[in-house]
Amino acid sequence: MVYQTVIEFRHVDFDKGWNRALLATERVVEYTPLEDRAQLQVVTEGATGTAITYFFEVPREEKVWISIPENLVFIPAKCLRKENGDKTECLG
């Protein structure tokens, strides 16, 4: 079964296993996993302003696209789980 998820995002956090390419339109960024599976987190904002983090895993043969003007991320996977709040982490 093939899944497709489109989410309007506030923040997208990729793990280190991705390659990034700006497409010719300069309005879409394409991300390709470099390993068998790569992970990303997408933070959205609900109607009340509450952040929700969605967790995804994408296989190497797939691509993730981000539409910059619309703040949309196109993910060829179903989310593994979601958690309330912004669950992304900074390095320091």
pLDDT of residue 90: 86
Domain-wise residue ranges, the chain: 5-82
Residue 35 vs residue 24, higher pLDDT: 35
pLDDT of residue 47: 85
Q: Write the DSSP string, 17-66.
A: SEEEEE-TTSSEEEEEESSSEEEEEEEEE-TTS-EEEEEEEEETT--EEE
pLDDT tens-digit series, residues 42-81? 999 988 899 999 999 999 999 999 999 899 999 999 999 9
The arithmetic mean of pLDDT across residues 8-36, rounded, is: 92
For strands 81-84 and 51-59, give the pairing: antiparallel
Q: What percent of the chain has pLDDT over 90?
A: 77
pLDDT of residue 1: 59
Residue 20 pLDDT > 90, yes or no? yes
Residue 91 pLDDT > 90, yes or no? no
